A and B are shown apart, each in its own frame.
Chain A
């Protein structure tokens, strides 16, 4: 009677909530409207647990209680409802949700996960527990790019699970690696969960992304370390690959090259080309292979060139703003934008860029919200003074503040005159503009890159070259897509919305490159995007009405008074709140937890001096566990759906437990060392 037990579990939980609320209500000396708010909160949790669509539960409940709160004034209630709905419709943070979702569906349908997994597991063949490590790696990359837990777990269940079982891996370990890995996508940015948190808590999504990057990578790293340790100390759970599983078959032409010129791939290819008749292999084939082999060298050289150009380049903006300052054109700080990559291009002083017409006050450029953040040490080619519409900023004003509504990015060195590190010399802004000598740091970096390249080519055998080519066509495109989306957000080159749209466009390109871009794929992705966005955003419509009612009734003050009366220290408060969120993760989904409960928690943070950004990172890590904790652990059910009959749901749940333990460990680690999350936002935005 398993079903019975689940039902009992739910009913007992519901009973406890109702009893608890009744206890609070009855123990109060006099019932205030705040108590009504608390009752509403308890009722809504019970109603959600009953299983009615959450968005409408919130909306209906919110409406009824708003009506009470306004002393049965229907007009006011209706006004509040429609304004809440319109607020969600015109929310410029939530707008990136459909775009990221759309990008995810397109990338998923580009169908490169098979290649990705195969290339990664061949590349990692020597690592202990290589299949599980490759699984985690694949999941981390693919889940980050798509963010669709169900699809990633199902796909990996189809691809990696059979291979691991055949290789003699423990069922529990394999299942745990797949389910835990598949959930990484909701934490590692760009993730929808962080947007939802940012929109609810009023925290900048840009900073959340910057903050969640290292905790996300840390969690993935901890998973991988755990798997490697298991494979090292309990090899019977994750035996090393057999010779057969590790062998890489060369394509016929390539094996002829390898036979004729054994040794490193690069020299082999060069020698084959040099030979009189190219060892009977078409020269075009050899040249193509050589180009692929030389790609890392070309990229490194190109990057070095760009960096050299930018660190030695006289700063045109410096010249420009100095010029315009001298000419006294005080309002010209807006809209000067150099195209990326035109680092050599010089802006003619005084005539440069687009001048914002003074008095276009309401004009709002998307770019102004991104502000400017120059990565220290990154190529200084991309440079954009905060293009604030109508915000007149005299050039040379120090400590430039962001326009209202900006995401809080600040220029690292303040003022319109920020220089890329390394470029020295105030006197460079004359007309001649000669290159300045590159700093030593650049040459050290170049040397290190050269050594790395030499080492790379020394170990690049023909087999490894095949793996490298596979990585080139599966791993690198995804990583480049993720990094460019994330990089442009975090470094302030684009708003999350813009980056998401360009990412979706990248998804189009990726699907096209893998010959998967058909009308059906686009249609399916668009329809799924519509449904997913409707699900999330209607939830917001419901919850904004609900939160308004809760605030109107004064439930918030009651909670605040109650929490403060407990005399908690900061640590106790954090632990208590995380435990509550962890427990809520059992019956509820993360969307519901964030949109309903974060508006209650966030105002409390001030009393304890907790940074909402840091709290968001803890919550995001915490909600990971919600995906892995029975009975609502969706990941387990997706995996069960595609696993062979002898794998039981219990085995999968037991396999997830150690990974859940790692998640809790990661939360503790983040709590003890907040710098893991806060270092990057601090460095970039100086908060």
Chain B
């Protein structure tokens, strides 16, 4: 079971990470556009629409990735103080109550929305029109990925209620990775421990 969960995790992460490169592309595109407009006097009318599509693609497809890494913001007043079993119960109930209906509806509606757009081969309103319908398919696609990842999280909750502890996840880059930061500024644990000697002096 754990293997299957991790496989889905990896799939979500892979998709999210693949589209994460959009940010590099986005940076390059806008920087080039700024240069082209100011220095070469050659603005491109499609640039803004392309930017928006890259941005939408970036964050929508990272939704499942973020969920797989437990990265969506939570209110942390109580949650952190709960026992794992309580955490899992709360999560399970709210996944069933809020998450599944919400995401399912979004995916469903997004699919219809995108199909409508496909039917008329919708394009952007600009001098150089870009096709808009592939962008609309991002909604059902991201929704489906989230749904899949959500099911995995529900199974995790059940496993946690049964075992009393959360099943493990795979490591990923962290925003604040203390070990990495320590290495970056070359501070070791011994250095920090050595500071204990300053305690009496600083306490006075």
B187 touches A51 (CB 8 A): no
List residues 102-119 of chain B with CB under 8 A from any CB of chain A.
102-103, 105-106, 108-110, 112-113
A433 CB to closest chain B CB (Å) equals 21
Say whether, besides A49-B77, A51-B74, A60-B97, A78 and B58 are in contact (CB < 8 Å): no
Complex: how many Å from CA A353 to CA B198?
Answer: 67
- Cross-chain pair count, CB within 8 angstroms: 322
Q: A367-B43, A527-B173 are in contact. List 16 more A-B contacts (CB 8 A).
A: A6-B81, A49-B75, A51-B75, A51-B87, A59-B98, A82-B109, A89-B135, A151-B181, A354-B42, A364-B48, A366-B48, A389-B45, A497-B30, A522-B24, A538-B63, A592-B75
B98 touches A366 (CB 8 A): no
Q: Which residue of chain A is the closest to B71 with respect to CB atoms? A: A531
Interface range on chain B (Cβ under 8 Å from partner): 35 or more
24 pairs, CB–CB < 8 Å, chain A vs chain B:
A3-B81, A6-B81, A52-B90, A52-B94, A55-B72, A57-B94, A59-B106, A85-B106, A86-B113, A89-B56, A95-B51, A99-B30, A159-B185, A165-B198, A504-B23, A527-B20, A527-B173, A530-B20, A531-B69, A638-B176, A642-B178, A644-B198, A644-B199, A646-B195
Flag whether A587 is at the interface (Cβ < 8 A).
yes
A51 touches B21 (CB 8 A): no
Complex: how many Å from CA A94 to CA B58?
Answer: 12
Chain A, 46-70, contact with B by CB distance < 8 Å: what is the 0/1 string? 0111111111110111111000000
List residues 157-184 of chain A with CB under 8 A from any CB of chain B.
158-159, 162, 165-166, 168-171
Which of B2-10, B33-41, B160-168 is the contact stretch?
Answer: B33-41
Say whether, besides A3-B81, A389-B45, A171 and B202 are in contact (CB < 8 Å): yes
Say whether, besides A47-B98, A529-B20, A7 and B41 are in contact (CB < 8 Å): no
A residues with a Cβ closer than 8 A to B are 3, 6-7, 9-11, 13, 47-57, 59-64, 77-79, 81-82, 85-86, 89-92, 94-95, 98-99, 102, 109, 111, 113-114, 148, 150-151, 154-155, 158-159, 162, 165-166, 168-171, 236, 335, 337, 339-340, 353-354, 360, 362-367, 387, 389, 494, 497-498, 501-502, 504-505, 508, 522, 524, 526-539, 586-589, 591-592, 631-632, 638, 641-646
Contacts of A166 in B (CB 8 A): 195, 198
A261 CB to closest chain B CB (Å) equals 35
Contacts of B80 in A (CB 8 A): 51
Most buried by A among B38, B45, B98, B199: B98
B198 touches A57 (CB 8 A): no
List residues 181-199 of chain B with CB under 8 A from any CB of chain A.
181-182, 184-187, 191-193, 195-196, 198-199
Q: Which residue of chain B is the closest to A59 with respect to CB atoms? A: B102
B191 touches A504 (CB 8 A): no
A366 CB to closest chain B CB (Å) equals 5
A55 touches B73 (CB 8 A): yes
Say whether, besides A360-B45, A526-B20, A85 and B91 are in contact (CB < 8 Å): no
B31 touches A505 (CB 8 A): yes
B53 CB to closest chain A CB (Å) equals 8
Most buried by A among B20, B39, B97: B20
Complex: how many Å from CA A592 to CA B102?
Answer: 18
Contacts of B109 in A (CB 8 A): 78-79, 81-82
Q: Which residue of chain A is the closest to B87 with respect to CB atoms? A: A51
A647 CB to closest chain B CB (Å) equals 8
Contacts of B172 in A (CB 8 A): 527
Q: Which residue of chain B is the closest to A80 with respect to CB atoms? A: B109
Contacts of A497 in B (CB 8 A): 30, 51
Complex: how many Å from CA A79 to CA B110?
Answer: 9
Contacts of A587 in B (CB 8 A): 75, 77
B34 CB to closest chain A CB (Å) equals 5
Flag whether B47 is at the interface (Cβ < 8 A).
yes
Complex: how many Å from CA A494 to CA B97?
Answer: 45
Contacts of B17 in A (CB 8 A): 526-527, 530
Q: Which residue of chain B is the closest to A545 with respect to CB atoms? A: B102
Q: Which residue of chain A is the closest to B143 with respect to CB atoms? A: A85
Complex: how many Å from CA A105 to CA B77?
Answer: 28
B181 touches A51 (CB 8 A): no
A538 touches B72 (CB 8 A): yes
Contact pick for A53, options B37, B74, B191, CB 8 Å: B74
Contacts of A362 in B (CB 8 A): 125-127
A533 touches B79 (CB 8 A): no
Contacts of B63 in A (CB 8 A): 534, 538
A77 touches B94 (CB 8 A): no
A51 touches B37 (CB 8 A): no
Most buried by B among A52, A114, A646: A52
Complex: how many Å from CA A78 to CA B110?
Answer: 8
Contacts of A538 in B (CB 8 A): 59, 63, 66, 72
Contacts of B156 in A (CB 8 A): none
Say whether, besides A530-B62, A538-B72, A498 and B139 are in contact (CB < 8 Å): no
Contacts of A53 in B (CB 8 A): 67, 72-74, 99
Contacts of B170 in A (CB 8 A): none
A51 touches B76 (CB 8 A): yes
Complex: how many Å from CA A340 to CA B184?
Answer: 37
B173 touches A643 (CB 8 A): no
Flag whether B148 is at the interface (Cβ < 8 A).
no
A99 touches B198 (CB 8 A): no
Q: Which 7 A-B pairs have the closest CB atoms?
A: A60-B98, A51-B79, A501-B30, A530-B20, A89-B56, A78-B109, A534-B62
Contacts of A113 in B (CB 8 A): 185
Contacts of A508 in B (CB 8 A): 27
B58 touches A89 (CB 8 A): no
B90 CB to closest chain A CB (Å) equals 5
Contacts of A534 in B (CB 8 A): 16, 59-60, 62-63, 65-66, 71-72
List residues 144-179 of chain B with CB under 8 A from any CB of chain A.
172-173, 175-176, 178
B28 CB to closest chain A CB (Å) equals 8
Contacts of A62 in B (CB 8 A): 102
Most buried by A among B41, B59, B136: B59
Complex: how many Å from CA A85 to CA B23?
Answer: 20
B178 touches A90 (CB 8 A): no
B66 touches A535 (CB 8 A): yes
